């Protein structure tokens, strides 16, 4: 027996979907902001000449790139509360988990960008009396940023898609709203198809924005 699509059901729950889109964007943007900041810090630790700091940076990267995000979200939200009694609101827990894991990937992106800048530029800056911090901010970082825009954009798309996983802890983002609407209407393919198309549209928009930024910086 063939499945009959009834797209009109979408209009009935469109406000639900719109709220889900808004929360998805909020979570993705906030988590990406903190992941970019945390990732840069971890990258600087990773390339530090201090062995303990470099070890910590590498351990952070390896750990969070190895653990599945879904497992980490469940452990952080449910397990941490059981073990320590510390409870986070679902949205906050989701943002923290997304931030911590994606910071590991972004740290490697930053590291590769920084190390792609010729070492001679560090030496030239030192010869002019620049401090390491000033050298990094004024000379190295602007060049490295141009290099890492495309992979950072790809990571942003991954962040957007991974935000759907926070639905497992009850965050009413796009995926969760689609699940609830499906349970009320028994029309799964309509809602999940629309959700998929929305994710695709958002991802394409983000990629185009990154391309525009890259072209302007050339």
- As a whole number of angstroms, the distance between CA 185 and CA 112 comes to 49
> What was the pLDDT predicted at 1?
56
State the chain's mean pLDDT as an integer.
93
- As a whole number of angstroms, the distance between CA 68 and CA 104 comes to 13
Q: Measured between alpha carbons, how far is residue 113 from residues 16, 18, 101, 130, 136 in Å?
A: 41, 37, 19, 21, 12
> What was the pLDDT predicted at 104?
97
Checking if the pLDDT of 44 tops 60, the result is: yes
> What was the pLDDT predicted at 69?
97
**Residue 135, phi then psi, degrees to nearest 5:** -60, -45
> What was the pLDDT predicted at 4?
85
Q: Rounded to 5, what percent of the chain is helix, strand, coil?
A: 85, 0, 15
Percentage of residues of the chain with pLDDT beyond 90: 78
| Averaged pLDDT, 125-146 | 87
Q: What is the CATH number of domain 8-217?
A: 1.10.3720.10
Residue predicted with more confidence, 91 or 132? 91
**Where does 6-89 have alpha helices with state H?**
8-12, 14-46, 51-66, 69-74, 80-84
Query: What does the domain layout of the chain look like in residue ranges?
Result: 8-217
- As a whole number of angstroms, the distance between CA 89 and CA 144 comes to 36
pTM (2 decimals)? 0.93
Checking if the pLDDT of 163 tops 80, the result is: yes
Checking if the pLDDT of 147 tops 80, the result is: yes
> What was the pLDDT predicted at 215?
82
- As a whole number of angstroms, the distance between CA 40 and CA 107 comes to 6
pLDDT tens per residue, range 149-162:
999 999 999 999 99
Checking if the pLDDT of 194 tops 90, the result is: yes
Q: Measured between alpha carbons, how far is residue 58 from residues 38, 39, 54, 101 in Å?
A: 14, 12, 6, 13
Checking if the pLDDT of 218 tops 90, the result is: no
Length of the chain: 218
> What was the pLDDT predicted at 217?
73
| Averaged pLDDT, 165-185 | 96
- As a whole number of angstroms, the distance between CA 103 and CA 45 comes to 13
pLDDT tens per residue, range 54-69:
999 999 999 999 999 9
């Amino acid at each position: 027996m063939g499945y009959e699509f009834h797209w009109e059901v979408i209009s009935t729950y469109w406000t639900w979907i719109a709220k889900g889109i808004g929360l998805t964007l909020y979570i993705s943007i906030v988590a990406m902001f903190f992941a970019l900041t945390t990732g840069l810090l971890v990258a600087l630790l990773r390339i530090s000449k201090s062995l303990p700091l470099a070890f910590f940076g590498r351990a952070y990267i390896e750990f969070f790139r190895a653990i599945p995000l879904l497992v980490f979200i469940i452990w952080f939200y449910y397990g941490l509360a059981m073990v320590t009694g510390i409870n986070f609101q679902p949205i906050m827990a989701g943002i923290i988990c997304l931030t911590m894991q994606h910071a590991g990937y972004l740290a490697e992106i930053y590291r590769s960008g920084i190390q792609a800048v010729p070492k001679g530029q560090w030496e030239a800056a030192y010869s002019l009396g620049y401090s390491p911090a000033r050298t990094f901010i004024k000379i190295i970082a602007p060049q490295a940023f141009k290099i890492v825009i495309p992979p950072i954009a790809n990571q942003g798309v991954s962040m957007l898609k991974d935000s759907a996983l926070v639905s497992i802890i009850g965050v009413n983002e796009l995926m969760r709203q689609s699940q609830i609407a499906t349970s009320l209407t028994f029309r799964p393919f309509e809602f999940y198809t629309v959700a998929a198309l929305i994710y695709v549209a958002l991802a394409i928009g983000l990629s185009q924005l990154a391309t525009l930024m890259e072209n302007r910086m050339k």
